[in-house]
Amino acid sequence: MQIGPYQLKNQLIVAPMAGVTDQPFRNLCVRYGAAMAVSEMLSSNPDVWDTDKSRQRMSHAGENGIRSVQIAGADPELMANAAVVNVQQGAQIIDINMGCPAKKVNKKLAGSALLQNPVQVKAILQAVVAAVDVPVTLKIRTGWAPEHRNGVQIAQIAEDCGIASLAVHGRTRQCMYKGDAEYDTIKAIKQNISIPVIANGDIVTPEKARYVLDHTGVDALMIGRGAQGRPWIFREIQHYLDTGNKLAPVEMDEKHLVMLEHLENLYELYGEYKGIRFARKHVGWYLDQEEQRPFRAEFNRLETVEKQCSMVERYFDEIAQN
């Protein structure tokens, strides 16, 4: 699949997830086989750019792979300006968020709330595409409610406006993340436009990846929650797509090293106080098993880098001894 001048090495892309797809996570996923990782969402409001959170999200130093930056907002002029600023900061692709269902985003009539207003969608897309000389991509949902799935209409507007590729999450705004993703709308979108289409939603196993590709005919897959605590899912899916066979589960030694590396990179990026708090959720995902609940409860009470790393080391030492 190609986005503008960028030829992706495979069909697997990391979905942008607020508070998750920071640089340490993106780099891990790319190392494990993702063709591209889209950054977590940035507001188009310049009033919030002068914060640690925004500065970290706008920095691309040490980035592995294609630098795709997602922006969100409802004002065409602000969105265009945000695109220009992020390209100046090193973004190679600008991705527009019209898929986030979060209340704090939708109450500003941004994210998936925009799907109710095709006229505004067109205005934003035209403004951003005209403002930058890099590819502009778009992420949407299938509509704003199950009875209002207008994904095909929005996709056709996107193609007409010069959007380079379209990612579609198989739920509506009203569905949030409940129920199962549906792929028939994504299939219909693929059949009605000629730009690359990327399917997203509930792709958590190699078998599901194969099914979604076959059912929808899309050009690529976007994986979000399935990669939390499992950056190697991209390696597993690619192997299955290539061979039809499943890889053996990741070895504990490898998992151990990846977790420690991930934690160290979080501490380095955010500093000790914030790094510790980000580490809690990532460790919870890596060890997301019912029998590990006592471990996670204790880990979440730790307040120093040394104690967190020591507890992870102890955890794997105990596994090795059993």
pLDDT digits (tens, 9 = 90+) for 147-185: 999 999 999 999 999 999 999 999 998 988 999 999 999
3-state secondary structure of 99: coil
CB-CB contact of 39 with 26 (8 Å): yes
Kindly indicate the confidence band of residue 290, based on its pLDDT and cuts at 50, 70 and 90: low
15 is in an annotated binding site: no
CB-CB contact of 32 with 65 (8 Å): no
Tens digits of residue pLDDT in 240-255: 999 999 999 999 999 9
3-state secondary structure of 2: strand
Position 105 scores a pLDDT of: 78
Position 230 scores a pLDDT of: 96
Kindly indicate the confidence band of residue 269, based on its pLDDT and cuts at 50, 70 and 90: very high
Position 102 scores a pLDDT of: 80
171 is in an annotated binding site: no
Give the percent of the chain with pLDDT over 70.
97
Give the total residue count for the chain.
Answer: 322
Residue type, position 309, single letter: C
47 is in an annotated binding site: no
- Alpha-carbon gap, residue 32 to 260, rounded angstroms: 16
122 is in an annotated binding site: no
- Alpha-carbon gap, residue 164 to 4, rounded angstroms: 6
27 is in an annotated binding site: no
Catalytic positions are: 100
Averaged pLDDT of the chain: 93
CB-CB contact of 21 with 39 (8 Å): yes
